[in-house]
Structure 1
Amino acid sequence: MKKNMLNVAVLFAVVFFLLFSFGCSNKEEKKQKHYSKAMELVAKEDYKAAVIELRNAIQLAPKDAPSRYQLGLALLKTEDPKGAFKQLGIAASLDPDNLDAQYKVATLLFLGKGYEECRKKLEIILAKDPRHVDGLILLANLETTEGKLPQATAAINRALVIAPNDDRLYVVRATIMMKENKLPETEAALQKALSLNGKKIDIYRMLAMFYMGQGKRSQAEDVLRTMAAKMPDSPEVYIVQAQFYEQLKELDKAVLNLEKAVRLKPKDSTLYVMLGNFFRRQKDFDKANSAYQKAVELSDAPAPIIALVADLAFEFGKFDQAKAKSEEALAKDPGSAGAKLVKAKLLVQDKKFNDALPLLDAIIREQSRWGEVYFFKALAHLGKNEKELAMGAVQDAVKYAPENFKARTLLAELLFDKQAYAEAREQAISALRLEQNNYFAAVILGKCFIQEKSYPEAIRLFTSLQKAAPKESFPPYALGLIYLAQKKDNEAIAAFKQAVAVAPQSSVAVGSVVGLSLKAGKKQDAYNLLRQKVAE
């Protein structure tokens, strides 16, 4: 009996083992099938489908380092750096010898300003492979960013010993030399980079910018001509030249170069998008709209471009068209972030702040570094009089989109309201550098000067504003306040009268004139002004 029971137990154990082994084997086969399919999709550059297959593989084998690594790479291709960072980090922890995973994590840390963690990753990489050239380049960039220029030079010199013909090293060297204001060495490094790789457009662009920085326009144009001669069939060459002439405000030359790029690849929708973006910057709605529509016709996946058309319409105050186009984009791609943002903008425009905020937060969850989304989130909070929340949102807007002059202007305004005048002044100055005709930033800057008692600067600024915007009443009113603070009553009353002439219904300006007239003993003038305003 005992023997029979023993045999049954042994048989049960054998069957369990076989079933377990079969289950594990089946799981491994399924994982491998998903992984292999993903690699086929990657080869076809269908990264979104590859992400799905790799996630299926990971669900079956969570500790499979190659699947995690490939998922991280695919997520980078689908512009999901947050997801890529997570997956590459797991891949690196599962397989510390995967130096490419370690390097890509370090790069993402650097781009996200996680400099301390980036340095730790680089120490791991260079300890395992002291000849890791990409790691040394990243280390040099990290040291440069942190202002450690001798250490940056040491890192790039180590890389040059290993790979003396790598053009990238001379570009990094040029960046370091430029920081040290070593101009001949900067030029020599860039010329060396070009001698090693005469087909890299970024080097030509950098050398042309270097010459422009030195006021050497003819040499910059020589560089661009050489680039065009070397690569006459590259649309990007003419895009670079268009950008060059746009910066110089020579818009006819910029358009000619963009049109050359389009002629080289007339079926490339991205070139029409660039042309549309150019006309949009020039405030030409019809030409921008026409270029975008051509891009829509050529594109196999037009939803993002239709969203651009919607955003263009919103910018020019064509809100019905913006709504229709955003709905069209969302019908083609319900996940279109650009169309969702236009929808949120329209809600903010309609003062439907409670409806806008959840939509903006949903976009941020998907794309956490999109500065414009934070700007409209700040406007929505401000519309609800939630100034602290607006402050946090607009700070993020400036962080992720430092060239957004509207965000900087709003931040300056909120800082001024908090009586943080020095910080408000700096933001207003930054906004004016980005957009010289930014009237609101100029007003905030002038108000900061007044609060800081920098009266000469304030007078110069508001005098200029008065000339530039003669229909605005605030500049003469501000001048009146400054003269009043300086106890220059005659100049103050003259300025206040100018404000009243521009804005007859301005009670503060009228009150200031009346008050100063009474102070000067000119009671009749005061009464006459009051009777005039009552009659009006």
Structure 2
Amino acid sequence: MHRIPRRATALLLLPALCLTLACGSRESRRDAHFQRAKQYLEEGKSAEGVIELKNTVQIDPKYVPAYALLAETALKERDYRNALAYYNKAVQLAPTNLDYVAPFANLLVAARQFDRLEEVLAALPEGARKEYRIATVEAAALQLQGKGEEAEKLLVALLDRQDLKPEERAAVNKALARMAAQGDRLAEAEQRARAAVAATPEDAEAILLLAQVQERRGRVKEAEATLKQAPEAVRQDNRYLAGLIGFYGRQKRLEEVKRVVEGLVARKELSPEGRLLAADTLLRLNEVGRAEEVLRQGIEQQQPDRRVITAFVRLKQAEGKLAEAVAALE
């Protein structure tokens, strides 16, 4: 047998070794950038994190986790256009990964891009389309396209699944309750809302939905009882407080509205959302000075929220006192 000289063998192996080293080097650089990006994002440094993620995909244009994290970051910053674009890229590379498909599908529904949604869903295995995250978004798309009956059938079939988590079962019942309420099927709506509350007793949205249906059925005292019996955790939720304010407002019980607002303002740690809710309600009560005071306290914090600043400036502008707003912000 003819033997290949040792030197020739080494020369043949050299290109393969170089290629292996290059790939290893590329992967290590990609991973280093990706880890730095995650660290920046955990520290709240989104701009730096995005730069590192872009460096990651520049090194490896097929690295799906980086596109997904870019999309998540854009979504948190309400940059829906880039969120759509990055999720689109992730789904092109991993068309059956539901962790990418589900949020992308939700964005497509919000953007009413139903043709693209159908393309994305068609690429999934049949079993995956029956999964909770996909079935619910498909039902939402059907409803938006005026196919309410098809949407309801899809959701009712989903309730037959035994593997649904309590919060998922509650979400389906809430969706069905809203559909029934829209169709003036209030008895059915109340039944579905009760099922949602039973599955997740600390779900503020479910409690509010049940109270709204009861109110529409003319059972105002029951609706108020439903709201008042909410667990303590729910009572701290700004969505619950907004619903409670709305309920008392519709009943013309303005003193109760003021009581809820003052309780909200008295919190030691008032979130920007809570502050905006309080200020908006005070303005509706024509208590402009009190609303201004609440917003001013927000902008005097060490790191004031942009939304609170905007609300304060608009209020002063409406009063013709824009210079005061500028002075307060300096």
TM-score, length-scaled by structure 2: 0.84
| Shift in Å, 1:231 | 4.2
Shift in CA distance, 27/251, structure 1 to aligned 2, threshold 3 Å: farther
Matching residue's letter, 2:142: E
Residues 1:316 and 2:319 aligned together: yes
The aligned residue for residue 137 of structure 2 is: 138
The aligned residue for residue 90 of structure 2 is: 91
Matching residue's letter, 1:119: E
| Shift in Å, 1:48 | 4.5
Shift in CA distance, 239/89, structure 1 to aligned 2, threshold 3 Å: same
> 8 Å contact 1:72–1:84 — kept in the other structure?
yes
The aligned residue for residue 362 of structure 1 is: none
> 8 Å contact 1:144–1:152 — kept in the other structure?
yes
The aligned residue for residue 228 of structure 2 is: 225
Separation in structure 1 between the aligned mates of residue 140 and residue 157 of structure 2, nearest angstrom = 14
Separation in structure 2 between the aligned mates of residue 67 and residue 190 of structure 1, nearest angstrom = 39
The aligned residue for residue 346 of structure 1 is: none
Separation in structure 2 between the aligned mates of residue 225 and residue 315 of structure 1, nearest angstrom = 36
Residues 343-372 of structure 1: per-residue CA shift (max 9 Å, x gap): xxxxxxxxxxxxxxxxxxxxxxxxxxxxxx
**Structure 1: segments with no counterpart, 5+ residues:** 1-6, 329-536
Residues 122-150 of structure 1: per-residue CA shift (max 9 Å, x gap): 34346351431121112222222223232
Separation in structure 1 between the aligned mates of residue 238 and residue 305 of structure 2, nearest angstrom = 21
Structure (1 or 2) with the larger CA radius of gyration: 1
Separation in structure 2 between the aligned mates of residue 208 and residue 129 of structure 1, nearest angstrom = 35
Shift in CA distance, 313/19, structure 1 to aligned 2, threshold 3 Å: farther
The aligned residue for residue 525 of structure 1 is: none
> 8 Å contact 2:264–2:274 — kept in the other structure?
yes
Q: 2:293 aligns with which of 280, 290, 296?
A: 290
Shift in CA distance, 168/256, structure 1 to aligned 2, threshold 3 Å: same
Residues 1:151 and 2:150 aligned together: yes
> 8 Å contact 1:47–1:77 — kept in the other structure?
no
> 8 Å contact 1:205–1:240 — kept in the other structure?
yes
Residues 1:197 and 2:196 aligned together: no
Q: SS at the partner of 2:230?
A: helix
Q: SS at the partner of 1:129?
A: helix
Residues 367-407 of structure 1: per-residue CA shift (max 9 Å, x gap): xxxxxxxxxxxxxxxxxxxxxxxxxxxxxxxxxxxxxxxxx
Residues 241-263 of structure 1: per-residue CA shift (max 9 Å, x gap): 12332344433322211222343
Higher relative contact order (CA 8 A, sep 6+): 2
| Shift in Å, 1:121 | 2.7
The aligned residue for residue 276 of structure 2 is: 273
> 8 Å contact 2:38–2:49 — kept in the other structure?
yes
Separation in structure 1 between the aligned mates of residue 268 and residue 112 of structure 2, nearest angstrom = 38
Q: SS at the partner of 2:123?
A: helix
Matching residue's letter, 1:29: S
The aligned residue for residue 28 of structure 2 is: 29
Residues 1:73 and 2:76 aligned together: no
> 8 Å contact 1:38–1:51 — kept in the other structure?
yes
| Shift in Å, 1:58 | 1.4
Matching residue's letter, 2:225: D
The aligned residue for residue 128 of structure 2 is: 129
Residues 1:245 and 2:248 aligned together: yes
Q: 1:183 aligns with which of 186, 190, 195?
A: 186
Matching residue's letter, 1:122: L
Residues 1:210 and 2:213 aligned together: yes
> 8 Å contact 1:306–1:325 — kept in the other structure?
no
1:423-438 alignment, distance < 5 Å: none
> 8 Å contact 2:136–2:172 — kept in the other structure?
yes
Separation in structure 1 between the aligned mates of residue 238 and residue 54 of structure 2, nearest angstrom = 37
1:270-419 alignment, distance < 5 Å: 270-298=273-301, 300-322=303-325, 328=330
Q: SS at the partner of 2:130?
A: coil
> 8 Å contact 2:128–2:134 — kept in the other structure?
no
> 8 Å contact 1:41–1:47 — kept in the other structure?
yes
> 8 Å contact 1:276–1:288 — kept in the other structure?
yes
| Shift in Å, 1:40 | 3.3
The aligned residue for residue 116 of structure 1 is: 115
Separation in structure 1 between the aligned mates of residue 48 and residue 67 of structure 2, nearest angstrom = 15
| Shift in Å, 1:264 | 4.2
| Shift in Å, 1:188 | 0.5
Q: SS at the partner of 1:101?
A: helix
Matching residue's letter, 1:96: P
Residues 47-78 of structure 1: per-residue CA shift (max 9 Å, x gap): 44432321221122222111111211121122
Q: SS at the partner of 2:266?
A: helix
The aligned residue for residue 4 of structure 2 is: none
Matching residue's letter, 1:315: A
Residues 497-519 of structure 1: per-residue CA shift (max 9 Å, x gap): xxxxxxxxxxxxxxxxxxxxxxx
> 8 Å contact 1:238–1:260 — kept in the other structure?
no
| Shift in Å, 1:219 | 2.0
| Shift in Å, 1:46 | 5.0
Shift in CA distance, 20/121, structure 1 to aligned 2, threshold 3 Å: closer
Separation in structure 1 between the aligned mates of residue 262 and residue 47 of structure 2, nearest angstrom = 33
